[in-house]
Structure 1
Amino acid sequence: MKNIVILISGGGSNMRALVEAAQREGWDKRWGARVSAVISNRADSAGLAWAQARGLTTAVLSHRDFASREAFDEALAALIDPHQPTLVLLAGFMRILTPGFVARYAGRLVNIHPSLLPAFTGLDTHRRAIEAGCAVAGATVHQVTAELDHGHILGQAVVPILPGDTPDALAARVLSQEHRLYPSVVARWLAGA
């Protein structure tokens, strides 16, 4: 079985899109793949409650309980490793991961970022794209490397920036594309794995 572990911090809408695509498209029968766990660094994550309600294996590991990023990442790996993951998917996991953690899952650690990388790494991507006068924005699925938001691009979705757009309005349009993009990139990866 190709196990997928999804890491979240908040609402988990990309995680939900992935889980629903896996069920709807029969990833288990097509490629022997399943979402084996959802892990959050926040106990109050709405996405965690959604996953629990659907019978998925879940865990919480608060980064606030650790003195260093390295200690948190080591404890996080201890939660992930028993699932023997084929893929570890970051879906709104709002933590910068240490080089050691990234190396541990090299080639199978994937993230979705709300910009057309390499433009606008980091936070506040929608505001920055509007302020820069960009005609388009979007989302990128990429492999995770030690350099923030710089890994190999696996797929992108483009969204126009409309006159009078606000960061929130643009974010909503980009998010709707993220929900299509992330599952399609993962499905393509599974089909070729």
Structure 2
Amino acid sequence: MKKQIIFSIFLFYILFLTIVSLVTEKENRVMDNSCLYKKKEIQFAAFFPTTSPFSRSRIKNRMSQKTLLRKIQINNQSYYQQFIKKTENLIKLLHEINTGNNHYHEVLIYWQFGEQIIMEMALHNNQAYHTFLINSLTDELGIPQQKLNTIIALRKAYPVAAELPLALSWEHCEILIEINEKDKRLFYQRITEKNQWTPNELRQNIQKNIDIKTQ
């Protein structure tokens, strides 16, 4: 009887050791797998560092930049549409001038449009919008950028409308605004009106550098 009890205890002990061994082996496998996973994770992170173009911060920044750019584009388009609506009557007159149907007060119309452009640029002090405005006016109205810049230059050369050379043509004005000195520009304006010079005669006399004091 005692031998049976001892043998049973021995078998139980052997079974217990076997179970403990299996559990320990399983835990070790889990630990090994965990270490292997962490190792692979570290290797992946090394292959795709945080500064890579695929990192979350970079992707987030790119999305933010795209969102900001889209917002700027929407705002620019909105500002431009408001400007077109505000200058609708002037644009109609510009169209008449461009089609050759209206040359009366041509210089004044260009001056007024130049003033509106300058006011719009001052209202939205943003170089990106300024470029967008000029490009859009060129595309929509068919006015070359160079002419738009000349229209703006006319307004800057003659801040007061009363000083405009309304008796002269637009071609005369294009030549006059090339003169930076106000007194010299006014001199050639008056002598052109007095002598009824053509634009070519005006340019030739400017190139000859007529002495103002002799006139």
Shorter-chain TM-score range: under 0.3
Q: Could you say which structure has the greater relative contact order, defined with CA pairs below 8 angstroms and 6 or more residues apart? A: 1
More helix by share: 2
State which structure, 1 or 2, has the greater radius of gyration over its C-alpha atoms: 2
Normalised by the length of structure 2, the TM-score is 0.24
